[in-house]
């Protein structure tokens, strides 16, 4: 008898959040149509999306102004039509997806209010759309955080890490033993000197 995993948490940051959300939506559509699948979204307890892009047509001008020029983006995506096909916010609104969206797991999107690579409105708009189609979802906005703060700079600095604490508390919510161990964990140490963190802050996807 094959072992079935049922406590899987999916997460992705930036392009990873975009790709992961696309995979989830496309998977529930396949399942709702009765297609043969190698895994089921019912195995996913929750999806954590960090600083993601979920509606590509709405971001074309923003990306263009940031240096990812429209012509390059359309070349990569092979045309305007693909922008919609790979935008989960648009996909869940399609009438053909109506019977599928209820299969989506709990979706939690995190974003920094000072993210200049992908505006935080991207996460808020996707969650609003998910609510309209009946999906359990929420967005959590971190004031003053940038595109790289949540998953890179904050862990490097050590100490309090709100995103990490939230995700661990969510996963361990019904596990008393794990919660007890979390409460006894030593303070997190700084992983890099401030100069390296400042250098990393200059790195941007585009």
> Residue 130 and residue 61: Cα distance in Å, rounded?
24
Residue 14 catalytic? yes
Please report, for residues 39, 73, 96, 127, the alpha-carbon distance to residue 53 in angstroms, rounded to integers and kept in the order given: 25, 14, 22, 12
Helix/strand/coil percent split, the chain, to 5 = 50, 15, 40
Q: Which of 20, 111, 121, 147 is catalytic?
A: 147
Is 147 assigned a catalytic role? yes
Active-site residue identified among 21, 51, 115, 139: 115
CA 127/CA 113 separation, integer angstroms: 16
Of 14, 87, 117, 139, the active-site residue reads 14
**Look-up of token digits 């971190």:** 142
Q: Which residues are catalytic?
A: 14, 115, 147
């Amino acid at each position: 008898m094959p072992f079935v995993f049922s406590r899987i948490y999916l997460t992705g940051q930036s392009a990873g959040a975009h790709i992961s959300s696309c995979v989830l939506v496309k998977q529930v559509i396949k399942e709702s149509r009765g297609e043969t699948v190698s895994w089921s979204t019912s195995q996913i307890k929750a999806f954590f999306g960090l600083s993601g892009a979920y509606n590509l047509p709405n971001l074309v001008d923003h990306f263009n102004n940031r240096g990812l020029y429209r012509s390059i983006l359309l070349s990569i995506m092979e045309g305007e039509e693909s922008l919609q096909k790979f935008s989960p916010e648009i996909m869940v609104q399609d009438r053909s997806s109506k019977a599928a969206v209820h299969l989506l797991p709990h979706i939690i999107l995190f974003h920094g209010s000072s993210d200049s690579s992908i505006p935080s409105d991207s996460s808020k708009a996707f969650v609003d759309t998910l609510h309209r189609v009946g999906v359990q979802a929420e967005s959590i906005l971190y004031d003053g955080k940038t595109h790289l703060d949540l998953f890179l700079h904050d862990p490097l600095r050590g100490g309090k890490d709100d995103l990490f604490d939230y995700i661990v508390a969510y996963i361990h919510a019904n596990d008393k033993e794990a919660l007890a161990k979390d409460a006894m964990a030593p303070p997190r140490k700084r992983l890099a000197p401030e100069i390296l963190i400042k250098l990393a802050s200059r790195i941007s996807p585009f």
